[in-house]
Structure formats: C-alpha cells, structure tokens
Amino acid sequence: MLSLVSKNKPAISASVLASARIIRLASTSATATTSATSPTSSSKPETSAVKRSGTGPMSFKTRKAIETEYNDKPTVVILGSGWGAISFLKHIDTKRYNVSIISPRNYFLFTPLLPSAPVGTVDEKSIIEPVVNFALKKKGNVTYYEATATSINTDRNTVTIDSLSNVASLNGSSKSSNIAALQQNDSAEVKYDYLITAVGAEPNTFGIPGVEKYGNFLKEIPHSLQIRKKFAANLDQANMLPPGDPERKRLLSIVVVGGGPTGVETAGELQDYVNEDLRKFLPSLADEVQIHLVEALPIVLNMFEKKLSSYAQTVLEKTSIKIHLKTAVSKVEANHLVAKTKNDDGTTTEETIPYGTLIWATGNKARPIVTDLFKKIPEQAKNTRALTINNYLQVIGTKNVFAIGDNAFIGLPPTAQVAHQQAEYLAKSFDKMSQLPQFHEKLANRKNKYDLLFEENKFKKFNYIHFGALAYLGSEKAIANITYGKRSLYTGGGLITFYIWRLSYLAMLLSARLRFKVITDWMKLAFFKRDFFKGL
Ligand SMILES: Cc1cc2nc3c(=O)[nH]c(=O)nc-3n(C[C@H](O)[C@H](O)[C@H](O)COP(=O)(O)OP(=O)(O)OC[C@H]3O[C@@H](n4cnc5c(N)ncnc54)[C@H](O)[C@@H]3O)c2cc1C
Ligand SMILES: NC(=O)c1ccc[n+]([C@@H]2O[C@H](COP(=O)([O-])OP(=O)(O)OC[C@H]3O[C@@H](n4cnc5c(N)ncnc54)[C@H](O)[C@@H]3O)[C@@H](O)[C@H]2O)c1
C-alpha cells in the first residue's frame, strides 16, 4: 500500500498524509490503508508525509464519501502528469485502486498547442490544466505529490522522490502533530503495488557544445516564457540601433534548429507574429526579422508523406522563412552557431549563422530516472532510448511496472496519440485485473514469464490505431494526413486543413475548460493583437 519511507523521520499514518488542501477538498475523512491482496502484499504503511511549495499548497489528496473503506485495494503509483499519466488517471477506476501521482509539474500540458504560446497566439494558461481538476472528477481518492521521482527501486517496490514543496504548516494541526513533515528538497520513498511510469523524455542536445547554455528548448511552459522574453528583449534592443547595423541584424535573427513538427510549427508561429502584429507598429523592424530553419535531413517534416512535406516547405519559404536543409549544427556560441551543410558532390560547407534567439528542437532523449532503471533490470540493460515494453505494456523484466508514452518503446513514434491510447488500454487492463479472482496474488507470486499470466487470462494485446498527423505551418495553413489505422481518410494542405487542424486539436483537448480557453484565445485573435508581453 501507499506509504512514504522517509529517511530519519518518525513513522506517521497515511490518513494524515494529505496536505493542507485536504481541508478544502474533503467531503469525509479517510483512513490509513493496508493491502493483503496486491502483488507486493508484504508492503505495509510506513512513514508518510506530503509537502507544500513555497508558493502555496501543491501536493494534495482528494477525499470522497465512497472512500471510507479501501483497505484491500492495491496502490497504483503514477509517475508524471503529462499525456500518459493524466490519460491513465482519467480512465483508471479509483474504486478498485488507491491512486497516487508523483510529478514535479502540478498541471497537464497540452503540448500540441505549445508552439502557439511563445508569441501569444494562445495563452500559456489556456493549455494547462491543474492535476487537481482531473483528480476531483474521480470517484475515489487520489493523492498527488509535487515531487520529482529520482529512482525506481524495483527490488523493494518503491520510488525515491525529492520533495518540491513542504508541509511544515501541517505540524500545527492537532491531528497531524506526529508528522515529521518533509521539507523542500527532502528525499523519501513511496511504496507501490503497481507502478506506471510516464515521465516522458527530455530535450536532446546530442552533446553539441553551447546548446544547453545558449539555446531555448520548447517542451514545457517555462520554455515558452523564456523564448518570448528573449525575442521581445532582442526586438527592444534592435529598435535602438540604426538600420544596417550588424548587431541589429543579429538581434533580429531567429534560428530554429530541427525541422521536425516542433521546429516547423514554432517557426510558423513566430513568422505569424512578425507578419500580423509586429508589422502593424514596427514595420521596418518586422521586415528585417529573419527566421532560419535548420534541418540535418534533406527534407522538413520527414514523418509526413513527401508531397505534404514539400508543400510545407513551399509555404514556409513563401512567408520568408529561410530553410537550410542537409545542414547540421555542430557548435553553438553566444551570438552565432556553426553549421555544416552536405553538398550534392559529397563535400561539406561550414557556415556561421549569427542569431539573437536560438530555439533548439532536435527531438528528445531518455530522462535520467529511466536510464538509471535500464541498469537495474537485466532485460533493459542494452537500452538507450526508452524502456522496452511487451504487448501488455509491462516493462520487460518486471511484473508490476508498466510504462506508457515517450519513456516506453514498442516500435511506435513518441507522440501524444500513442501515450493517450496506451493509457486508455492500460486502465482497461487494470479493470480486468481487479475483476479476475486472485489475479493480483497470482502476479505477485509469479517467478518468471509475467506476460504469460496476461495471455492465459485472455487480456487483449495493446493495438495502436493511427489517426494520422497534423502540423501548423503559419499564415493559416496546415498539413494533415488523417487516417484510421492504415486507411487514409484525408490528405491535404492549406486553409481548409488549417480549420481541420483547429477542430482536431479542440477534440484532443482533455477538458471542457481547456476547450473554452483555447476557443476564446482564437476568437480574440480576430479582434486584437497577440498578447506578447516580455515579462509575462
Ligand atoms: C511542442 C510539442 C508539440 C507536440 N505536438 C504533438 C502533436 O500535435 N501530436 C502528438 O501526438 N504529439 C505531439 N507532441 C509529442 C507529445 O507531447 C509527447 O509524445 C507526449 O507528451 C508524451 O506523453 P508522456 O506522458 O510520455 O510525456 P509528457 O507529456 O512529456 O509528460 C511527462 C510528465 O512526466 C513528468 N516528469 C518528468 N520527470 C519526472 C520525474 N523524474 N518524476 C516524475 N515525473 C516526472 C513531467 O513533468 C510531465 O508531467 C508534441 C511535443 C512537443 C514538445
Ligand atoms: N504536430 C505534431 O503532430 C507534432 C508536433 C510536435 C511534436 N510532435 C512529435 O513529438 C516528437 C518530437 O518532435 P520534434 O519535432 O521535437 O523532434 P523530431 O525528432 O521529430 O525532429 C527533430 C529534427 O531535428 C533534426 N536534427 C537533429 N539534430 C540536428 C542538428 N544538429 N542540426 C540540425 N537538425 C538536427 C532531425 O533530423 C529531425 O528532423 C515526434 O514524435 C513528433 O512527431 C508532433
């Protein structure tokens, strides 16, 4: 069952685990839990604690009347609050499992619209949804820890976490007087019966010097704010310099490295801002902004069929984005980068591209917690990219650890679509597991061939249905290849596809609140300029 094993802290019960937020969310009180039926039934409640951040209570536990008795339920710990984790939370039956989420980010981020955020086409707050909003919709209790998981300890079914908030104030209440609260940066271990790892991936620099120091990634909300701040500051500075000044030219140069969908969509959005907003009040500056898109391959958006990527390239070039193909960046300095272009005759040309703003979008790599797990599971030892999983999404070599999304590899691309479908599938599997008599015990007692138990019990294998791909190019044009599995339903590019793109993303948004906010932002664009504030 859920418990926190905190170094050098006295034991406290799980019932006082919740943060100050309990008071606001509680409808009844809940009790501590023990599990006799889970795969790791030896696990008992041990030391517990939660934390609050310095900026307000973030960790929480919801409480529902239905949840007064839940002693025999296995505990599922979910790592992450992204596509995989939140989609799983939405579908898992919390009457059958105690669910805990651990993530340093207390909100879900709708990544498909992240490229629209730096220039204010959509507001950052319009594409995030607090974890608590999903948790409150569940019938059972959900506990959230605002913490970073630093190690998965499969030998003792625990996850080591580093607290990002603290619960010092809980000590003041009479009920929780025995709490040795975790402070920010304290370390503790959380026990699980089942672990769902959905920590995603992190930006890959390929070890290229200078990228970490000078580049801006676009993977999280703070990245969006950093890009806007940098670009806005550069516009300010450039405006103070006379036309023709090389420094003005550099400041107005934006280099986007990586011609995958992140790089293309970001370049398109930046150019939209320049053409539609900046031009209205600083036309000469807008004319001088030059966006470069640098891609190592001979084509941008190589995951689309050739005619769509060629169309994309034409649209980008028409809007004056300069595309450098077969060009790989090898070094980044404070004000310029070095790139090598492969020529048709086999030779290589090296060029220096000055930049004011550098956006690095060359794909992702495994997070340290995942690479650390590779070393602990012999079957995963040769991996570098992600955890290999079987058809039931079990991490190969484990019985009670499952992986979904970008941190898992099953031969599918690292997309939200895949993460979402895996999460839905896994929640259904968990339903079935809880309905089959003695399934948890049988899995716990199994010594090898863990996947066979799923096969013997006729669990369906995960079957991915590809619904296609879409990408925004800027100037109200998008490309789309909409499919149902192998059947192609629509292939196109242009204005109509742009509206299909918008409708598809509205459908993908995980909550009514997000839909409302995004629609409002898009409507606002018809009447007002983008919110492009340096400090916000
Ligand atoms: C700009 C951009 C646009 C995209 N657009 C699309 C699109 O249009 N369509 C599409 O299908 N895909 C798109 N993707 C890809 C998609 O976002 C990912 O494939 C998807 O987010 C993967 O889901 P995930 O749950 O594996 O990871 P994520 O959604 O990245 O979530 C990972 C979670 O784990 C948390 N975490 C990280 N480290 C730890 C830790 N140590 N302990 C605990 N928690 C941790 C993070 O805070 C986060 O909450 C886009 C990606 C980007 C960057
Ligand atoms: N609209 C969408 O569907 C959408 C949007 C964004 C991301 N995604 C998904 O998210 C994942 C990541 O996408 P992404 O665009 O961030 O990465 P990506 O891996 O798809 O593309 C990265 C690109 O960077 C290039 N590159 C790598 N190193 C380079 C270097 N040194 N110099 C120049 N170019 C270099 C690669 O050749 C590649 O084309 C993918 O699975 C993608 O499908 C989807």
pLDDT digits (tens, 9 = 90+) for 50-75: 333 333 447 777 655 433 344 579 99
Q: pLDDT over 90 for what percent of the chain?
A: 80
Q: Which ligand is nearest to the CA of 77?
A: 1
pLDDT, tens digit (0-9, with 9 covering 90-100), for 166-175: 643 323 333 4
How many domains would you assign to the chain?
A: 2
- CA dist., res. 415 & res. 396, Å (int): 21
- CA dist., res. 264 & res. 313, Å (int): 9
Q: Count CB-CB contacts under 10 A for residue 361.
A: 27
Ligand 2 pocket: which of 204, 295, 464 to mutate (most atoms <8 Å of CB)? 295
Both 79 and 173 in a single domain?
yes
303: CA distance to ligand 2 center in Å?
9
Both 118 and 181 in a single domain?
yes
419: CA distance to ligand 1 center in Å?
9
Pairing verdict, β 187-191 and 4-6: antiparallel
Contact 91, 203 (CB under 8 A): no
Q: Is residue 96 part of a domain?
A: yes
Q: Which residues contact 400 (CB under 8 A, 6 or more apart)?
A: 39, 40, 157, 192, 193, 194, 195, 443, 444
Q: Is residue 517 part of a domain?
A: yes
Both 358 and 420 in a single domain?
no
- Specify the CATH number for the domain of residue 154: 3.50.50.100
Ligand 1 contact, 81 CB (< 6 A):
yes
394: CA distance to ligand 1 center in Å?
20
For residues 212-235, b (16+ Cβ closer than 10 Å) or e, as one string?
A: eebbbbbbbbebbbbbbbbbbebb
Both 238 and 274 in a single domain?
yes
Mean pLDDT of 515-529: 96
**For residue 50, what pLDDT is reported?**
31
Both 177 and 149 in a single domain?
yes
54: CA distance to ligand 2 center in Å?
36
pLDDT, tens digit (0-9, with 9 covering 90-100), for 300-346: 999 999 999 999 999 999 999 999 999 999 999 999 999 999 999 99
**For residue 174, what pLDDT is reported?**
35
Both 146 and 266 in a single domain?
no
Both 343 and 479 in a single domain?
yes
Mean pLDDT of 416-441: 97
Q: Is residue 27 part of a domain?
A: no
As beta bridge partners, residue 99 has 76, 142
Place 460 in a pLDDT band, splitting at 50, 70 and 90.
very high
Hey, what amino acid is at 487? R
Ligand 2 contact, 353 CB (< 6 A):
no
Range of the domain at 310: 211-362+471-527
111: CA distance to ligand 1 center in Å?
7
Ligand 2 contact, 470 CB (< 6 A):
yes
Tokens of 446: 């199994």
Q: Is residue 13 part of a domain?
A: no
Place 181 in a pLDDT band, splitting at 50, 70 and 90.
low
**For residue 72, what pLDDT is reported?**
79
- Per DSSP, the chain holds a count of helices (H) and strands (E) of 16, 25
Q: Which three-class secondary structure state does DSSP give residue 20? A: coil
Pick from 257, 251, 386: which is nearest to 327 by CA?
Answer: 257
Tokens of 85: 């984790």
Q: Which burial class, exposed, middle or buried, applies to 55 when counting CB atoms under 10 A from its CB (0-12, 13-18, 19+)?
A: exposed
Q: Is the dihedral of CA 253, 268, 264, 519 positive or negative?
A: positive
Query: Per-residue pLDDT for 33 more than 90?
Result: no
Q: Is residue 54 part of a domain?
A: no
- CA dist., res. 493 & res. 503, Å (int): 15
